[in-house]
């Protein structure tokens, strides 16, 4: 005899779905020094971005098999490490300089929103999902990332201890990348530091990893989509960054913010940070419900999406301005 099982519907796991474009194209980051450089700095940046953006769009069209690809653009402003100017001054400035070379910014994000958005501690929640890949031969002496705030892509150099009298010190061993191809490219990523009051200051790589997960439609908080766009009015922008939504939709006709894949066109100075982002993404246990939704939808659309989350992220780096 088969027994019926009754369960409260509120107890069933639920993962909110988000609309997905084919590609999320990031047109750059803005830091205080860029803004202080005046219109010329941003103008040169967008002039360098435009050819790469055109190439990325062409590649997305080829991947779509002749169908018009859904592509949204975004831009990230650093209001986390340094506060400068105001949304009322910066946003129109950005929009104008992008439009000058034929680019449209669909979505604008505040980097502080990658730390905490709508009172949700996003950076902390991603740290809680980190699952370190144990290097071959590890002996458990390495403290976990939750204690150290450091995440590596392999085996660190063993700590050299003071040798006891009449005993020879242990041999030095180099660090080793877990998935090295012939030679190692070892990376050890600092996820946070503590300020003078003992509060955590999240690192650029960790915030950028949160940013990538949001752009890939994989960021959830207890099943609810996190860091989602809100409509913005460029005619009524606040004078304080805290009064601006963490993610603002500037273009009402834009394709969905999140996408199957992301591409970022950035100056080459971001290369070390984005390498660290891949290390973080490779060791993040992404929400299974969100992954399943992307897999089901991409299969229905006939879109090929890599299994590894980090492989859904791509870049175009340019040198100099």
| pLDDT tens profile 251-290 | 999 999 999 999 999 999 999 999 999 999 999 999 999 9
Asked which of 125-139, 157-171, 193-207 is least confident by mean pLDDT, the reply is 157-171
Rounded CA gap, 266 and 247, in Å? 20
Higher per-residue confidence, 40 vs 9: 40
- pLDDT tens digits for range 114-148: 999 999 999 999 999 999 876 665 655 668 898 88
Over 60: is that where the pLDDT of 167 sits?
Answer: no
pLDDT over 70 percentage in the chain? 88
2 alpha carbon, distance to own chain's centre = 48
CA–CA distance, 228 with 160 (Å, rounded to integer): 47
For the chain, domain boundaries: 14-118+208-267+288-318
Torsional class of 260: left (φ above 0), alpha (ψ -120 to 50), beta (otherwise): alpha
- Give the whole-number percent of the chain exceeding pLDDT 90: 70
Q: What integer best gives the mean pLDDT of the chain?
A: 89
pLDDT band at 197 (very low <50, low <70, confident <90, very high): confident
Structure tokens at 50: 């435009």
**Which pLDDT belongs to residue 7?**
47
Q: Determine contact, residues 132/120, Cβ cutoff 8 Å.
A: no
Residue 164, classified by CB atoms within 10 Å of its CB into exposed (0-12), middle (13-18) or buried (19+), is exposed
For the whole model, what pTM was predicted? 0.90
> Average pLDDT of 69-83?
95
Which CA distances in Å does 299 have to 129, 247, 303?
26, 28, 6
pLDDT in tens, 208-262: 999 999 999 999 999 999 999 999 998 899 999 999 999 999 999 999 999 999 9
User: Is the pLDDT reported for residue 159 higher than 80?
Assistant: no
User: pLDDT-derived band of residue 169, with 50, 70 and 90 as boundaries?
Assistant: low
């Amino acid at each position: 005899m088969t027994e019926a099982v009754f369960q409260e519907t509120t107890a069933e796991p639920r993962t909110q779905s988000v609309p997905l474009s084919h590609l999320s194209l990031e047109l750059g980051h803005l830091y205080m020094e860029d803004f202080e450089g005046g219109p010329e700095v941003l103008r040169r940046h967008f002039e360098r971005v435009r050819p790469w953006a055109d190439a990325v769009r062409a590649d997305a069209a080829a991947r779509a098999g002749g169908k018009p690809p859904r592509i949204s653009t975004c831009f990230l402003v650093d209001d986390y490490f340094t506060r400068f100017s105001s949304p009322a001054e910066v946003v129109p400035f950005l929009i104008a300089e992008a439009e000058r070379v034929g680019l449209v910014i669909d979505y604008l994000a505040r980097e502080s929103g990658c730390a905490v958005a709508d009172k949700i501690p996003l950076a902390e929640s991603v740290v809680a999902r980190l699952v370190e890949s144990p290097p071959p031969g590890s002996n458990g002496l390495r403290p976990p990332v939750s204690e150290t705030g450091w995440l590596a892509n392999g085996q660190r150099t063993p700590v050299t201890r003071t040798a006891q009298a009449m005993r020879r010190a242990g041999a030095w061993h180099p660090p080793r990348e877990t998935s090295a191809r012939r030679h190692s490219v070892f990376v050890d990523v600092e996820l946070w530091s503590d300020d003078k009051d003992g509060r955590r200051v999240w690192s650029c790589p960790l915030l950028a990893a949160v940013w990538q997960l949001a752009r890939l439609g994989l960021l959830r908080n207890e099943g609810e989509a996190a860091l989602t766009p809100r409509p913005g009015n460029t005619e009524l922008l606040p004078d304080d960054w805290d009064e601006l939504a963490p993610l603002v939709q500037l273009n009402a006709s834009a394709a969905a913010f999140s996408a199957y894949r992301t591409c970022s066109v950035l100056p080459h100075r971001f290369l070390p940070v984005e390498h660290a982002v891949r290390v973080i993404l490779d060791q993040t246990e992404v929400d299974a419900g969100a992954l399943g939704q992307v897999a089901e939808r991409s299969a229905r659309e006939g879109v090929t999406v890599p299994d590894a989350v980090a492989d859904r992220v791509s870049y175009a780096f340019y040198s100099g301005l």
